[in-house]
Amino acid sequence: MSQHARKQVNTVALAILFVTGSCLPKDTRPPPAEVLVQAASDDAVQTGLTSDDGWHIVFSRYLVTLGQASINGDTCNAYAEGDYTRVLDMQQPSPQKVNLLYGLGTCQFSFALIHPREDSVIGAGVTADEALMMRTAGSDVYTSWTDQLAGINTYVVGSATKGSQSKHFAWPFRQDFYMQLCTVVTDAGPEQDLQLRQRESLSVELQVHGERLFQLGPLRRLFEPFAGADTSYGNNDGDVTLEELSRVPATVSGNLGGVTFVDGGIVIEPGALMAQAQFSSPDAGIPDAGPALPGARSPVAAPETLGDFLVYWLLPASISYQGLGICSHSPRRPSQRGQ
C-alpha cells in the first residue's frame, strides 16, 4: 500500500471513530471502587493433613471452578460484574485472580461454585485435558435428581493411610452452588457488606480448606467413616467413591457429643453444618418438574447419608470468605441439558 493510500485509510478510520464516539452517551457517574476477587488454599490442600482418628490424608490434585462474582443490594451501584469463571489449580502457591468487580455503595457479595463453560479462563497449572474433563457434561448419583447433565466444578484426588491401611479417592463434584449472603466476623461484630468508595481498591479472598471435606464435627476431622464407605458399603477395592458414600446412613445428632458409629452409620453434630444451606426456595435451584431418576440423591433438609453431607454441606462449606467467613449456599441446576 502506498503512503498516500495509507494516509487515506487512517483519515477514514479517524472520521469513523469521531462519529461513533460522539454518539456514545457520556458516563457522568463518579469513578467506582475496584474489587479484586482472589482464591487461595490452606495448608491441607498444599501439604496434606492428619485426621483426628489417625489417617494421613494427601491431595494429589485439587481443581476448582469459581466465578460469576457479583455485588448487589438496595444501596449498591454495580458498574461491572464478573460473569465469567476460572478453572483453578488450588495447589498453586500464590492467590489467583477469580473476578474483577467495579461499583460503589454498600454492597453484598456473592459468587458461584459452578462447572466451567467453553469460555472459562484456564488458570496456571491446569492442563487442556483437565479443562476438557471439567467441562464435559455428565451425571452421577448427586446430579441425576435434576434430570440434566453438568460438568465438574470441583475435582479432588488424594489418598489416606493409617498403618497398613490405604484408601484412594477421586471425587468429581458436579452439583453447582450459588454462594450468597457472605459474612465475616470482625471485632465490631458480623459484617455482611462491602463498603465501596470512589477510586478505592479492595480485595476479597476466597479460601479453599481441604480439611473441611472431612469435618464431621466442629472440632473433629475424621476419615474412618469415609474409609468404611468402601470397606463396609462398597466393594472394598481401596477406592472410596461418591456412590459408596451415598450408601452410608447418617443422622444429625441432637447434642454436641462426639461423632460415633451407630448401627453401621454415623452421627453428624449440628455444629458441623458450618454454612447455612438453603434447600426450600424454588429460586435456589430446586427442580419443580418430575421425579428424580432411580438412585438419585436430591438435596434434603438434613443429610441422610455421608455422601449427602459431603456434597451438599462440606463441599460448599470448604470455601471460606475473607478468612474464616461463611456464605449461605443453595444448589443450582443447569438451565439446559449439557450446559
Give the pLDDT confidence of 149-167 residue by residue, as tens digits. 889 999 999 999 999 999 9
| Residue 19 covered by a domain | no
pLDDT band for 123, please (50, 70, 90 cuts).
very high
In tens, the pLDDT along 90-104 reads 999 999 999 999 999
* pLDDT level of residue 333 (50, 70, 90 thresholds): low
| Percent of the chain surpassing pLDDT 90 | 60
15 within a domain of the structure (yes/no)? no
| Average pLDDT over all residues of the chain | 83
Give the range among 17-21, 40-44, 233-237 with minimum mean pLDDT.
Answer: 17-21
Mean per-residue pLDDT for 18-25? 50
At residue 83, the pLDDT reads 87
Q: Is 320 left (phi over 0), alpha (psi -120 to 50) or beta?
A: beta
pLDDT at 265: 76
Per-residue confidence (pLDDT) for residue 336, from 0 to 100: 41
Q: DSSP labels for 14-34?
A: HHHHHHHHHHSPP--SPPPEE
- Candidates 113, 34, 132; CA nearest to 314 is 113
Is residue 26 situated within a structural domain?
no
pLDDT band at 186 (very low <50, low <70, confident <90, very high): confident
Question: Can you give the length of the chain in residues?
Answer: 339
Give me the residues paired with residue 80 across strands.
102
Determine the 3-state secondary structure of 210 from DSSP: helix
Contact 286, 277 (CB under 8 A): no
d(CA 53, CA 133): 33
pTM of the shown model? 0.84
Question: What are the pLDDT digits (tens) for 2-16?
Answer: 555 544 544 544 444
Distance CA 80, CA 102 (A): 5
Q: How confident is the model at residue 257 (pLDDT cuts 50, 70, 90)?
A: very low
β strands within 114-230, DSSP E:
121-122, 154-162, 165-173, 176-186, 189-191, 193-196, 201-208, 215-217, 220-221
Q: Is residue 286 part of a domain?
A: yes
The answer to whether 89 and 57 are in contact (CB under 8 A) is: no
Q: Would you say residue 22 lies in a domain?
A: no
For residue 24, being part of any structural domain is answered with no
Local confidence band at 27 (pLDDT 50, 70, 90 cut-offs):
low
3-state secondary structure of 138: strand
pLDDT at position 276, please?
57
pLDDT of residue 264: 64
Is residue 66 domain-resident? yes
Q: Domain residues for 98?
A: 34-332
Distance CA 119, CA 220 (A): 40
Please give the tally of structural domains in the chain.
1
Using DSSP bridges, classify how beta strands 220-221 and 215-217 pair: parallel, antiparallel or unpaired: antiparallel
Q: How many of the other CB atoms lie within 10 Å of CB of 158?
A: 20
pLDDT on residue 51:
96
pLDDT tens figures, 198-256:
999 999 999 999 999 999 877 789 999 999 999 999 999 999 999 999 999 988 776 44
Cα–Cα dist 323/318, whole Å: 12
Share of the chain above pLDDT 70, in %: 78
